[in-house]
Structure 1
Amino acid sequence: MVINDEQKNDIAWKEYTKYNVGDGVRIDINNRKKTIGYVSEIFGQAPEKDMVSSLEDLEARLQGALTGLNGYIVTDKEITQETRPEDVQKVTILFEGSEAKFDQNFRGAVEDWVLTDAPTAIQISMAKRLGIKTGKISQLDAASKEVKAAMDRYPNARFKFYAHSLGGLNLQASLGSLEDKYLNRVDGAYIYEAPNLYPLLSDEEKKQVDKIKYKIYNYIDKRDIVTWEHSKEGNEGVVGTLVRIDSKDVGDLGKQHMWGGYDYKAGYLNVKEESLDDYRLARVKQAKEQLQLKKQALESWKKRGLSGRDLISMDTIQAIRIVESLKEFALIASDYILAVCDFGIADVKGTWETLLASCRSTVSGSRCRESDIVNALAQVGATKETIEINRITELEKIKKDTLKIKDSIFSLSTDIAKGIATVAATDIALASQLQLQW
């Protein structure tokens, strides 16, 4: 199932919905309600249905309750007494933003705004402007512990994260705390309208989030005053890929903060021109990784052997549908990747000459030579390699790798389909023999 920007925003909104354990989380897809999973755990509340049982998990949940951490863990399977955590394949974690209703939840609002938001804002500014770093606020630490506990509890699951405002701070801290074995299981992280926690992270934490920069999307609307300490240009010094929204002014700071300025076209966000290249490249890298994961799943399936009892007992039609859906995914994803890469290559070609021409025009009439212009640009990191050649080389490599993965998926799908047909024929023959013997 391919989720567009508007649907991702819809998922993030669910963090503000009041759910109970066991409730289905549903969003609109093509004018139909689609269940993306079931609430298995609620941050800040006592564990239910025995999913949180270890001492470390209970400590994390208690710390979350004491610090005002709010949000949900959503699993692809409804958790019952019979459900095994290792059977869960997909987990979505939702981090809720600050409690805004002081009249209805005074304690929660104080925990968020007074004990977490305000001191964290001061810490970020001190770290960025003065280089002074202090320990992170307790709620951020609790969120990091909850994420690790969940990833340990569901060892075979891949994870997606959604967060808004204060929840975005919790998510940034959580991602920075993850070792490589956890990072490899992150499919995507979507941060909306949050301050920039990157200056406050340790060097090791920065290194970790930079490893999955292309899988973290950090959406900001500069009309929203909450998104402080983000750079005006570029994509460095931030957790993930910074996506600057080409927003509309709704004339209300509260509504602006709550996604009010977001504008969509055919389900996809209007993004400012200066963010488009990085945004497209991150999405292409993410799509390529998902293709690679599908290929690995097929390779594992084939390696296990199609004559095994588990595959003989599988419904043949269902198995064929799985294979065909993977082929369809490979076709759609690869076509998207190739199209974006071709567009990027065409867009980048000639940028160096355009830059030189602009510089020549600026210094026209002076004694400045071409070599002087080139040397001056190089001093600020602008060369033909950094501006044009390196990006084209990267996109060409992604195209080449994508075609290889696509061809491999099609080849594996064909082999598996033949194997399923053979197993099915064998199974029918066995059934006939049993019937005759009976």
Structure 2
Amino acid sequence: MSRSYNDIDRINIAKQEYKNWSEGEEITIDSEDGKSRKSIGIVSQVIDNKITGEQAYIITNTKKTVSPNASLTKREKVTEVTVLYRGSTGIDQWKKEPLDVWKDWLENDIPSATQIFTHTGGRVVTPQLKSAAKTLKNSLNNYPNAKHYVYAHSLGSMTAQYALSDINEKEASRIGGAYLYEGPNAYSLLTPEQKKMAEALRGKIYNYVDFKDPVTIGYGAYKENVGQLIAIDSKDMNDIGKQHMWGGYQYDKEGNVLTDAKGYAALAKNNTREKLDGLEDLKKIFAKSGGNLSDSEKIFLDAAEALALTQGVKMTIQYDMNELQKTYKKAIDNADDLWRDTLKDARTIGTSLSESERLDALASGGATEASIRTKPKAKYQKKLTKLTAIQKEYDELINNIKHAIAEQLQNDQELAQQIGSA
């Protein structure tokens, strides 16, 4: 069954590309409770192309390695593949890994960056981009029934953008999603045909960009890019390395990255789609095990669908609610500042008047503490309270559905076991 993740999960998955995994090892990430681990799958292939510098991992959702050399029968049983494209080896590692640094920077990063910056010298397609495209195509061919999920960071993001744009229509139908972080905009490196594919896959590719990160070159107003641009509402780390390695990312309490209205809408749509797809897969598993769905299975699926849709709606409007909160809080602060400044000006001008005389003079002109400070603050506080109540209602509804689902699974161990093994 396909699984849904929040942004913290996805970034933790992407970070695995920088670890040295071996074939047969299981990749896991922290679960939400912090007490257990979520399994991403088994490393079934390690790509370490010394000629092009490409480094990637092919991970299958199996209990054992299913390599590209396994029998077709075994490979056909793989239903999910995660592809991790590794980013550049740090230039500070040139003594330890000189070949990787040379391949990444001299043969890939710099030529591509020059093309993206200047749009001169013709379309530069480096060996690593071509190699990455071949890796994705091979994986789609090796695991013919598997949905593919792509994660990449930095140079890996650029290679993934190119690789995804280089597949054909049939292959594209098996891309479940792509989550690309902090890479240059590779759109200018694509052919017209590749640009068409990039557009066709737009709804499945999420291109996360922190504009405080100098590596994210080539993006901007009126510029095309691969996938949906998720502009990060980041904090300034005052450190280029930390900024580049997700250090400035901020999250809401659901683990979703803080972004703009378009970003929230795109991620909400994706999260809801993933969850509903997962429920559809689960429904098929239920049907296989016993024909018609049992009442318990129907109740679970209905509740889980309601949860997915409610969470999707809340996330869609989250940006607007956040912005309104900021606006109301700012208006409350402004009312205090305005009254304080009004009194200051009155004291400066009316030096010969007493405080009560100054207040009377202001009141005669309609400038009272009530009109400038008290009433506006009360008005915005009322709006803020109403907005907070709306958020609370959504949170309570979501928590109630979660509680009902947990209670059902606790009381129906057979159903819980079915879901756990799906």
Q: TM-score range by the shorter chain?
A: 0.5 to 0.7
SS at match of 2:83: strand
Q: What is aligned with 1:148?
A: 137
Q: Are the structure 2 counterparts of residues 296 and 254 from structure 1 closer, same or farther at C-alpha, using a change threshold of 3 Å?
A: closer
Q: Which residue of 2 aligns with 1:351?
A: none
How many residues are paired up?
Answer: 314
Matching of residues 28-177 of structure 1 within 5 Å: 28-29=30-31, 30-31=33-34, 32-44=36-48, 64-77=49-62, 78-79=64-65, 84-100=74-90, 101-127=93-119, 133-177=122-166
Superimposed CA distance per residue, residues 193-248 of structure 1 (whole angstroms, 9 cap, x where no aligned partner): 100011221222112111222221111112211111110x47x5111111121222
Distance 1:206 1:96 in 2: 23
Q: Which amino acid aligns with 2:65?
A: I
Aligned to 1:215: 204
Shift of 1:338: 3.8
User: In the alignment, is residue 256 of structure 1 matched against residue 218 of structure 2?
Assistant: no
**For 1:19-34, what aligned pairs fall within 5 Å after superposition?**
19-29=21-31, 30-31=33-34, 32-34=36-38
8 Å CA contact 2:179–2:205 kept in 1: the answer is: yes
Say whether the 8 Å CA contact 1:68–1:111 is kept in structure 2.
Answer: yes
Q: What is aligned with 2:185?
A: 196
Amino acid at match of 2:129: L
Determine whether 1:9 maps to 2:1: no
So what's the TM-score if we normalise by structure 1? Answer: 0.64
- AA partner of residue 267 (structure 2): R
The alignment partner of 1:223 has SS state of: coil
Measure the CA separation in 2 of the matches of 1:135 and 1:71.
22
What letter is aligned with 2:44? S
State the secondary structure of the residue aligned to 2:211.
coil
Report the CA distance between 1:16 and its aligned residue: 0.5
Q: Distance in 2 between matches of 1:104 and 1:336?
A: 46
**Match of 1:48?**
none
Distance apart, 1:161 and its partner CA = 0.9
TM-score, structure 2 as length reference: 0.66
What SS is found at the alignment partner of 2:141?
helix
1:360-382 CA distances to partner (integer Å, 9 max, x unpaired)?
xxxxxxxxxxxxxxxxxxxxxxx
Distance in structure 2 (CA, Å) of the matches to 1:271 and 1:342: 13
Q: What residue number does 1:359 align with?
A: none
Q: Which amino acid aligns with 1:41?
A: Q
Structure 1's unaligned 5+ residue stretches are 45-63, 348-438
In structure 2, do the counterparts of structure 1 residues 152 and 69 end up closer, same or farther at CA, with 3 Å as the change threshold?
Answer: same
CA RMSD of aligned residues (A): 3.3
Bigger Cα Rg: 2
3-state DSSP of counterpart to 2:58: strand
Q: Which amino acid aligns with 1:74?
A: I
* Counterpart contact for 1:168–1:191, Cα < 8 Å: yes
Which runs of 5 or more structure 2 residues have no equivalent in the other structure?
323-422
User: Match of 2:81, SS?
Assistant: strand
CA contact (8 A) 1:27 1:33 kept: yes
Matched-pair identity in % = 32
The verdict on how the C-alpha distance between 1:89 and 1:223 changes in structure 2, with shifts beyond 3 A counting, is same
State the AA in 1 paired with 2:204. K
Q: What amino acid is aligned across from residue 252 of structure 1 in structure 2?
A: D
Note the alpha carbon deviations across 1:53-88, whole angstroms, 9 max, x for none: xxxxxxxxxxx3310101201110121568801111
The partner residue of 2:263 within 276, 279, 284 is 279
Runs of 4+ in structure 1 displaced over 6 angstroms? 298-302, 319-324, 342-347
Q: 1:116 to 1:266 in 2, by over 3 A?
A: same
Contact between 1:221 and 1:245, CA under 8 Å: does it hold in 2? yes
Instruction: State the SS of the aligned residue for 1:228.
Output: coil
* Secondary structure, aligned partner of 2:4: coil
Q: Is the 8 A contact 2:4 2:274 kept in 1?
A: no
Deviations 1:132-171 (A, max 9, x none): 6424101100000110100111111111111010000110
Instruction: Report Cα offsets for 1:85-144 as digits up to 9, x if no partner.
Output: 1111111111110011111100111000001100011122243xx5x6424101100000
Match of 1:224 in 2: 213
Closer/same/farther in 2, CA of residues 320 and 206 from structure 1, 3 Å limit: farther
